[in-house]
């Protein structure tokens, strides 16, 4: 395809969305509880892989999320739009893909380019719902105040509370680091008087649940649920959990659920054969911790020490079980208050996370391990309860789904499709492809930032196909096609072998390339 047409189409797409969003800003419909509109309990979970009991993992202990799944639909083939926090959450919460929001990194706020876009909670706020946010719904440092009637924070915790330590030695180490950074002028206080600093990549906390932020905010969310019960209007309550995001800190009782010696390690600790070297990069996030920065191997090096691997996987699973317990507390309260029958519960993880797969320890790739996500929709209006759907779905589908289920017209500018047909019949399908992308070159060591590259990927029932382009960061457009990848999930579910150079795949590659250009409106 002519590169001028590609560039023009990206710009045109952005302008169409801009106009549509400007038109949406005053949409409002009167809603009261008498109209019997369903409440919405929204549960984002950071860095959660689709490895839970309800996803077929017998090792991970997640009884409360599994129970939620029994009352809803588990989406087994759900994909985020980009495997990093801000772009992923922005796409879900605006119903728009990253090329439309212009958000491809951790620093850009979607309102920079789309100031009048109506976010998902804002839509419900505009239409008569009382919206309350706790924790991490939008990216934690890029909040959206106009989306909420109330945005709550637990007293005594930092503005960004993911790096909270409770054990004495770790607290001392953290405070020594903070003092060092203050003396060098490299630290600043947040609005609550804390300095954000991270030291160890995991902690077996000698503490109760509420010593960490996720437990404490669950206690606050339960109090808020009790108040919302008496409201005359339906509510949209989002409780965004930080774990299992790094550092993998959780109370000891959740670590005790697992036998570290029996935790299996990834069996594909190598980069995909015949894929471009840059497609798996150096896990910059984990390298920011003192116990990993000097010994974590790069993807093309020998795998990490097995004891360290087991320690980190053990810590991750402990965090998953810790969050599962908090989800259970929320759901129990919902039931005790008599709110469960008229509440839609949406639980989702913003992207995947590598635990040694492809010799990586992080997210931020275009591969299945990072783009496939957990998504469970349960409760009111779900007819196909206790079922698993294998339909291809995307995060941009969540916004139109909730509008549809709540009885509102779906805004026309949204780029996803309602999942309501799948919630009524788990065998239904709504699309034949899911799309993700990743902008490489804004993260990692200096050598990785010399050239920005955009990888566009399409996932069909059988294949994942990726096209890599050089990226013009001044114009925000793709330019030269520099690499391609093709994986056959019928024969290679882990995406270990790039078969794009197989002459037999020529016709298929052309079809999938056209599919990418359809999905991203090249």
Per-position DSSP letters for 284-317, written without gaps between them: TTGGGSTTTTTTPPPTTSPPPPHHHHHHHHHHHH
Q: Which residues contact 228 (CB under 8 A, 6 or more apart)?
A: 39, 130, 132, 235, 237
CA 506 from chain center: how many Å?
34
Segment (H or E) for 370: helix 368-371
What is the spatial distance between Cα 436 and Cα 365, in angstroms, rounded to a whole number? 10
**What are the tokens at 109?**
């706020």
Paired tokens of 205: 């906390």
Judged on CB neighbours under 10 Å (0-12, 13-18, 19+), 390 is middle
Q: Which of 21, 80, 109, 139 is catalytic?
A: 139
What DSSP state is assigned to residue 180? H
Q: What whole-number distance in Å separates Cα of residue 191 and Cα of residue 186?
A: 17
Of 135, 133, 192, the closest CA to residue 159 belongs to: 192
Q: Are 317 and 325 in contact (CB under 8 A)?
A: no
Q: Is 139 a catalytic residue?
A: yes
Cα separation, 43 vs 243, whole angstroms: 12
Beta-bridge mates of residue 456: 437, 467
User: In sequence order, what are the residues at sequence separation of 6 or more whose Cβ sits closer than 8 angstroms to the Cβ of residue 290?
Assistant: 173, 199, 200
Decide if 85 is catalytic: yes
Rounded Cα distance, 10 and 521, in Å: 7
Tokens matching residue 463: 């294949």
Beta-carbon contacts of residue 468 (< 8 Å; ≥ 6 apart):
276, 279, 453, 454, 455, 481, 482, 483, 484, 485
As beta bridge partners, residue 77 has 392
Nearest CA to 498 out of 325, 351, 368, 378 is that of: 368
Provide the β-strand partners of residue 170. Answer: none
Mark out the alpha helices in 194-281 (DSSP H runs): 213-229, 252-255
Instruction: For residue 231, give both structure tokens.
Output: 């409201």
How far apart, in whole angstroms, are the C-alpha atoms of residue 219 and residue 341? 22
Contact call for residues 62 and 366 (beta carbons, < 8 A):
no
Cβ contacts of 4 within 8 Å, gap of 6 or more? none
Which tokens go with 227?
Answer: 């108040």
Q: Point out the catalytic residue in the list 85, 109, 358, 413.
A: 85
* Catalytic residue numbers, as ranges: 85, 139
């Amino acid at each position: 395809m002519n590169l001028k047409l590609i560039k023009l189409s990206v710009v045109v797409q952005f302008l169409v969305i801009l106009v549509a969003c400007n038109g949406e800003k005053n949409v409002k419909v009167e809603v009261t509880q008498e109209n019997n509109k369903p409440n919405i309990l929204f549960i984002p979970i950071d860095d959660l892989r689709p490895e839970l009991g309800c996803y077929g993992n017998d090792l991970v202990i997640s009884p409360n999320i599994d129970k939620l799944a029994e009352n809803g639909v588990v989406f087994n083939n759900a994909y985020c739009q980009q495997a990093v926090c801000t772009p992923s959450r922005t796409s879900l919460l605006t119903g728009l893909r990253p090329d439309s929001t212009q958000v491809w990194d951790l620093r850009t706020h979607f309102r920079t380019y789309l100031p009048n876009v109506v976010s998902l909670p804002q839509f419900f706020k505009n239409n008569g719902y009382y919206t309350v946010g706790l924790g991490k719904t939008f990216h934690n440092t890029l909040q959206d105040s106009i989306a909420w009637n109330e945005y709550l924070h637990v007293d005594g915790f930092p503005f960004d509370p993911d790096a909270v330590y409770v054990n004495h030695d770790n607290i001392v180490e953290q405070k020594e680091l903070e003092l060092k950074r203050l003396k060098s002028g490299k630290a600043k206080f947040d609005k609550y008087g804390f300095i954000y600093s991270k030291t160890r990549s995991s902690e077996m906390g000698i503490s109760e649940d509420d010593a960490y932020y996720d437990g404490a905010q669950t206690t606050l969310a339960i109090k808020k649920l009790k108040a919302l019960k008496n409201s005359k209007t339906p509510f949209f309550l989002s409780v965004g959990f930080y774990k299992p995001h790094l550092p993998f800190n959780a109370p000891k009782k959740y670590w005790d659920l697992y036998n570290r010696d029996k935790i299996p390690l990834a069996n594909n600790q190598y980069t995909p054969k015949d894929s471009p070297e840059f497609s798996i990069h150096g896990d910059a996030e984990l390298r920011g911790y003192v116990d990993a920065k000097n010994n974590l191997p790069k993807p093309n090096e020998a795998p990490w020490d097995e004891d360290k691997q087991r320690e980190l996987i053990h810590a991750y699973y402990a965090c998953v079980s810790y969050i599962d317990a908090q989800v259970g507390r929320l759901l129990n309260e919902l039931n005790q208050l008599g709110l469960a029958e008229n509440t839609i519960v949406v639980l989702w993880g913003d992207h995947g996370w590598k635990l040694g797969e492809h010799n990586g320890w992080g997210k931020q790739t275009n591969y299945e391990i990072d783009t496939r996500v957990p998504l469970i929709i349960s409760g009111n209006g779900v007819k196909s309860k206790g079922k698993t759907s294998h339909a291809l779905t995307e995060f941009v589908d969540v916004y139109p789904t909730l509008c549809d289920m709540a009885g509102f017209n779906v805004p026309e500018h949204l780029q996803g499709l309602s999942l309501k047909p799948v919630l009524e019949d788990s065998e239904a399908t709504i699309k034949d492809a899911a799309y993700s992308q990743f902008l490489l070159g804004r993260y990692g060591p200096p050598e990785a930032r010399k050239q920005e590259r955009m990888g566009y990927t399409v996932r069909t029932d059988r294949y994942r196909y990726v096209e890599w382009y050089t990226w013009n960061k001044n114009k925000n457009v793709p330019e030269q096609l520099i690499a391609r990848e093709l994986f056959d999930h019928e024969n290679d579910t882990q995406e270990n072998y790039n078969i794009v150079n197989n002459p037999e795949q020529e016709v298929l590659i052309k079809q999938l390339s056209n599919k990418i250009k359809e999905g991203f409106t090249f």
